[in-house]
Amino acid sequence: MPPEKNAARPLRIAIIGAGPGALCMGIRLRQAGFDDFVMLEKGDGVGGTWLHNRYPGCACDIPSALYSFSFDVKKDWSRPYAPQPEILAYMEGLAKSHDLLPHVRLGCEVRAATWNEDQARWTLELTSGESVEAEVVVSALGMFNELVTPDIEGLDSFAGTCFHSARWNWDHDLSGRRVGVIGSAASAVQFVPEIVKTAGQVHLFQRTANWVLPKEDTPYTEAELERFRTHPTAALELREEIYRRVDGGMTFSDPEALAELEAAGIAALDVVKDPDTRAKLRPTHPWGCKRPLYSNDYYPAFNRPNLELVTESIGQITPKGVTTVDGKLRELDTLILATGFAANKYLSAIDVTGRDGVHIEEAWREGAQAYMGVTTAGFPNLFMLYGPNTNNGSILTMIEFQADYALRQIQRLADEGLDWIDVRPEPMERYNEEIQSAIDGVAVWNESCNGYYRSSSGRVVTQWPYSMSAFAERAQKPDEDAYETSIKTFADKVGKTT
């Protein structure tokens, strides 16, 4: 049971989503005595990206020991890099054990959010036509929310089965099929080695070669799992060891370490027998310029006779298959789009209108930005998790720091009887200038490798340039002066004077 409520002002809180960020926020709210909140989830269950991404081979690319929340550490992951079903089960377990399910509304997709200045309240419009009102909104949309469909001539004309890897069609059997995969990044690296085991022929259309490093992922033995479960500190010691390792390497600032990682990536390529294929798989950009990838199965898969690496550009898609610019048609039964997400849109994936009728797309015309990655000037009582410039290290760890920071502002609203709280433009601008300056100093992020880090303006909007510990330290510092507040509307309602 949550602790007894002690706030001066009752608050209705709406959380957008029911993924890791939303679950963390809901748990923190209940622990702080806030129980009047709703979690609006467009899917048919909790888990967020781990619910929607169910492609073969889907797994975490951060060591599992660090991929759980500190207040509910999972000790018995089956292997060092957990597969999707285990992670989803962990998320579902959080929702049940922390009594969040009564707060969750499934099948509720938020289309728009509008701030009402007179009432100091947000109105959330759902695609169903319903609306939800709340004094506080927490967006847990994160980065991996809106799918990217490639702009390729004739895509709609394909006569076979076509689907995005993040919405895998499990009703479609790939056995013996002629499969085309467009994209060769995170999801393709994981599912291609799996589908080649049963597909008749797979053609992987690669635009840019990515760094794919090996990982230590031997499943734990039963004896090791029993030790993690029963030893008082074994799992926590492993977690702390991995935290230190990840925390120290996430700034991409050690040339020797970067060189060692590139050497490991090049060495991993040696397993590919065909020299032409091996050359095409070798990246031309520095390691870290794009999202680092890890797999022990990707490169060996190219030794199979039924996997072809295609590096010629796609000219068009026809009803029969994919034609490359050299005029060659590869006939297909199935087309899988491994083209990722619009990772730099964040909350602008929905129509959000703040103070003075300003739309968030207008406020973010140079790219998404926020103070502490959590709140944006002109959008009162609105907080984001996994927001702009918070991506690095273990995202669950970063989310936890952000949720605690957002909770501190929500607690101010309640305890001080505030009408609204809004970060001032000047502190937000100073904060983002510092972040962008630090990003400019990370050499590998400033190479031209067409990653998802940058907005159309060229601004890096996804990456956090320091350590996780540095973010935690900032998030814990008092910064009341960074905010402006109002008490007028609430004071009028309860007869207070200001």
Q: According to the model, what pLDDT value does residue 450 have?
A: 66
How many C-beta neighbours within 10 Å does residue 2 have? 14
Q: Which residues of 331-356 are buried (b: 16+ CB within 10 A; e: fewer)?
A: ebbbbbbbbbbbbbbbbbbbebbbee
Rounded to an integer, what distance in angstroms lies between the CA atom of residue 52 and that of residue 25?
A: 20
Q: Which residues of 206-242 are buried (b: 16+ CB within 10 A; e: fewer)?
A: beebbbbbbeebeebeeeebeebeeeeeebeebbeeb
Q: Are 28 and 94 in contact (CB under 8 A)?
A: no
Q: Are 392 and 62 in contact (CB under 8 A)?
A: no
Rounded to an integer, what distance in angstroms lies between the CA atom of residue 348 and that of residue 368?
A: 8
What burial class does residue 427 get, using C-beta atoms within 10 Å of its C-beta: 0-12 exposed, 13-18 middle, 19+ buried?
middle
Give the DSSP H or E segment for 423. Answer: strand 420-423
Q: Are 18 and 46 in contact (CB under 8 A)?
A: yes
In three-state secondary structure terms, 243 is helix
Per-residue pLDDT of the chain (498 residues; tens, 9 = 90+): 444 554 567 899 999 999 999 999 999 999 999 999 999 999 999 999 999 999 999 999 999 999 999 999 999 999 999 999 999 999 999 999 999 999 999 999 999 999 999 999 999 999 999 999 999 999 999 788 888 999 999 999 999 999 999 999 999 999 999 999 999 999 999 999 999 999 999 999 999 999 999 999 999 999 999 999 999 999 999 999 999 999 988 788 888 989 999 999 999 999 999 999 999 999 999 998 998 899 999 999 999 999 999 999 999 999 999 999 999 999 999 999 999 988 788 898 999 999 999 999 999 999 999 999 999 999 999 999 999 999 999 999 999 999 999 999 999 999 999 999 999 999 999 999 999 999 999 999 998 876 789 888 889 999 999 999 999 999 999 999 999 999 976 556 554 533
> For residue 410, what is the DSSP state?
H
Q: According to the model, what pLDDT value does residue 56 have?
A: 97
**Half-sphere exposure of 360 toward its Cβ, with a 13 Å CA cutoff?**
24
Q: According to the model, what pLDDT value does residue 490 have?
A: 58
Q: According to the model, what pLDDT value does residue 451 have?
A: 74
Question: What domains can you pick out in the chain, each with its CATH number?
Answer: 13-146+342-494 (3.50.50.60), 155-211+253-337 (3.50.50.60)
Give the residue among 300, 309, 306 at the shortest CA–CA distance from 273.
Answer: 300
Q: According to the model, what pLDDT value does residue 254 have?
A: 86
Q: What's this model's pTM, rounded to 2 decimal places?
A: 0.94
- Identify each DSSP E strand in 117-266 by its residue range: 121-126, 131-134, 136-139, 161-164, 178-182, 201-205, 212-213
How many C-beta neighbours within 10 Å does residue 77 have? 23
Rounded to an integer, what distance in angstroms lies between the CA atom of residue 446 and that of residue 33?
A: 45
Rounded to an integer, what distance in angstroms lies between the CA atom of residue 313 and that of residue 127?
A: 38
Structure tokens at 257: 């370490």
Rounded to an integer, what distance in angstroms lies between the CA atom of residue 248 and that of residue 72?
A: 24
Q: According to the model, what pLDDT value does residue 469 have?
A: 96
- Rounded to the nearest angstrom, the gap between the alpha carbon of residue 121 and the centroid of all alpha carbons in its chain is 28
Structure tokens at 463: 């990456």
- Identify each DSSP E strand in 135-208 by its residue range: 136-139, 161-164, 178-182, 201-205
